[in-house]
Chains A and B, each alone.
Chain A
Amino acid sequence: MRARIIDRQDLLKIVDLLTTEYQVVAPFRGRGRDTYFDVVTGANRDLIQLHLPNPYYPPKRYVFPQSQRLMTLRRNGDLQIEPYYDAPKRAIFGIRSCDVAGIYQLDQVFLKGLYKDVYYDMFRKNLFLVNVVCTDSELDMDEDCFCVCADTGPAARNWFDLQIMDLGSELLVVAGSPRGEALFSNDFFRQATPAHVEKRREILTDIRRRFDKSTSWYSAAIRHITLGQVTDETWEEIGNRCLECGGCSYVCPSCNCFTVSDKQVSENEAERLRLWDSCALSGFTRMAGGHNPRKAVHDRRNRRFFRKLAHYYIQRELSVACIGCGRCVNVCHGNVGMPAVVEIIRRTKAEAEQR
Chain B
Amino acid sequence: MHSFNPTLTTCTFCGVGCGIYLEKSGGLITGAYPSMSHPANQGKICVRGWHVHEVASSPDRLKNPLLRVNGDFQEVSWQKATDFIVERLTKIFRESGPDSVGFLNSPRCSNEESYLLQKFARTVIGTNNVHHGGPLHRQNTIQTLIEMIGVPAATNSIGELEKSEAIIVDGIDLGRQLPTIGGRVIRAKLNGAKLIVTGSRRHRVAEQADYFLQIKPDTDLLLYGAMAKVIVDRGLVDYRFVRQHCHGFEAWLQTIQDFNLLAAADRCGIEVELIENAAIAYARARSAAILYSTGVEARGVEPIQALVNLALLTGNVGREGGGLMPLAEYNNLQGICDMGVMPDRLPGYRPVSDPKARKALEKLWGKPVPPNPGRDIWSMLGSGDTPLRAVWIDRHNPVATAALCDAAQVLEQADLVVLQHMFMTNTAKYADVILPLVAFGEEDVTYTSTERRVQIAQKAIDPPPGPIPAWHHLVIVANKMGARWSYASSSDVLDEIAKAVPFYSGISYENLGREYGRQWPCTTDKKLGTGYLFEDGLPEAGFQFAAVHRPPDAASRPTDDYPFYLSLGYSLYYWHRNVLIQHSETLRREYGILLLDYPEGFIEINGQDAKRLNIRDGAKVRLVGQVGSAVSTARVTDEIRPGTVFVPYFQQEIARQIVWTEGARKSNVDNPVFVRVEKA
Contact = CB atoms under 8 A, between A and B. Distances in A.
B216 interface: no
Contact of A266 (B44, B59, B187, B596): B59
Nearest to A61: B31
A335 B190 contact: yes
Interface in B166-195: 175, 179-180, 182-184, 186-187, 190
Interface stretch (B34-42, B283-291, B647-655): B34-42
Interface in A198-221: none
A220 to B, nearest CB: 21
A333 B30 contact: no
Contacts of B642: none
A243 B596 contact: no
A39 B4 contact: yes
Q: Which of B3, B42, B45, B47 has the largest number of chain A CB atoms within 10 A?
A: B47
A282 B590 contact: yes
A263 B585 CA distance: 9
A66 B590 contact: no
Contacts of A77: none
Given A23-B2, A281-B590, A286-B593, A32 B21 contact: no
B660 interface: no
Nearest to B206: A240
Interface string A103-145: 0000000000000000000000000000000000000000000
B249 interface: no
B447 interface: no
A259 interface: yes
Interface size class of B (residues with CB under 8 A): 35 or more
Given A243-B46, A283-B589, A334-B183, A34 B175 contact: no
Nearest to A281: B590
A246 B37 contact: no
B30 A65 contact: yes
B53 A333 contact: no
Contacts of A241: 186, 190, 208
Contacts of B589: 281, 283, 286
Q: Which of A39, A261, A283, A330 has the largest number of chain B CB atoms within 10 A?
A: A283
A244 B47 contact: yes
Interface string A245-283: 111001100000001010111100000010111100111
A25 B208 CA distance: 43
A49 interface: no
B33 A57 contact: yes
Interface string B58-93: 111000000000000000000000000000000000
Contact of B47 (A61, A246, A263, A332): A246
Q: Which of A34, A240, A281 has the largest number of chain B CB atoms within 10 A?
A: A34
A194 B281 CA distance: 64
B182 A57 contact: no
A219 B593 CA distance: 38
Interface in A8-38: 23, 25, 30-34, 36-38
Contact of B21 (A33, A36, A251): A36
Contacts of B377: none
A66 B30 contact: yes
Given A66-B53, A281-B586, A57 B23 contact: yes
A265 B590 CA distance: 23
Contacts of A235: none
A37 B50 CA distance: 18
A247 B593 contact: no
B50 A290 contact: no
A34 B31 contact: no
A31 B35 contact: yes
Contact of A33 (B2, B30, B37, B186): B37
SS class, residues of chain B in contact with chain A:
mixed
Contacts of B204: 240, 242-243
B258 interface: no
A283 B581 CA distance: 14
A32 B593 CA distance: 39
Contact of A264 (B23, B42, B45, B59): B59
Contacts of B4: 25, 37-39
Interface residues of A, number: 51
Given A23-B2, A67-B53, A61 B23 contact: yes
B35 A88 contact: no
B6 interface: yes
B597 interface: yes
B524 interface: no
Contact of A67 (B30, B58, B208, B596): B30
Given A38-B5, A240-B208, A275-B54, A333 B59 contact: no
B460 interface: no
Contacts of A246: 47, 50
A30 B33 contact: no
Interface in B476-493: none
Contacts of B35: 31-32, 34
Given A245-B44, A245-B179, A330 B36 contact: yes
Given A66-B32, A275-B54, A34 B8 contact: yes
B585 A259 contact: yes
Contacts of B21: 34, 36, 57
Contacts of B184: 333
A282 B34 CA distance: 21
A176 B380 CA distance: 71
Contacts of B50: 245-247, 250, 276
Given A65-B30, A66-B23, A333-B179, A31 B37 contact: yes
A56 B182 CA distance: 22
A331 interface: yes
B6 A67 contact: no
Given A245-B50, A283-B589, A283-B593, A56 B33 contact: yes
Interface string A63-100: 00111100000000000000000001000000000000
A266 to B, nearest CB: 7
Contacts of B183: 243, 332-334
Contacts of A88: 2
Interface in A34-68: 34, 36-39, 56-57, 61, 65-68
A263 B437 CA distance: 21
Contacts of A286: 589, 593, 596
Nearest to A90: B2
A65 B58 CA distance: 18
Contacts of A264: 59-60
Contacts of B60: 264
B561 interface: no
Interface string B9-36: 0000000000001010100001111111
Q: 10 closest A-B pairs (Cβ-Cβ)?
A: A333-B183, A32-B37, A66-B31, A261-B585, A283-B589, A240-B207, A330-B43, A265-B59, A33-B36, A33-B37
Interface of B: 2-6, 8, 21, 23, 25, 30-37, 42-47, 50-51, 53-54, 58-60, 175, 179-180, 182-184, 186-187, 190, 204, 207-208, 515-516, 585-586, 589-590, 593, 596-597
29 contacts: A31-B515, A32-B37, A33-B36, A33-B37, A34-B37, A39-B3, A56-B36, A65-B25, A88-B2, A241-B190, A243-B179, A243-B204, A245-B179, A246-B47, A263-B59, A264-B59, A266-B59, A275-B585, A277-B586, A281-B47, A281-B586, A281-B590, A282-B593, A290-B596, A330-B44, A331-B44, A333-B44, A333-B186, A335-B187
Interface of A: 23, 25, 30-34, 36-39, 56-57, 61, 65-68, 88, 240-247, 250-251, 259, 261, 263-266, 273, 275-278, 281-283, 286, 290, 330-335
Given A38-B4, A56-B33, A66-B30, 9 more contacts: A38-B6, A67-B54, A240-B204, A242-B204, A243-B183, A263-B59, A281-B589, A334-B186, A335-B186
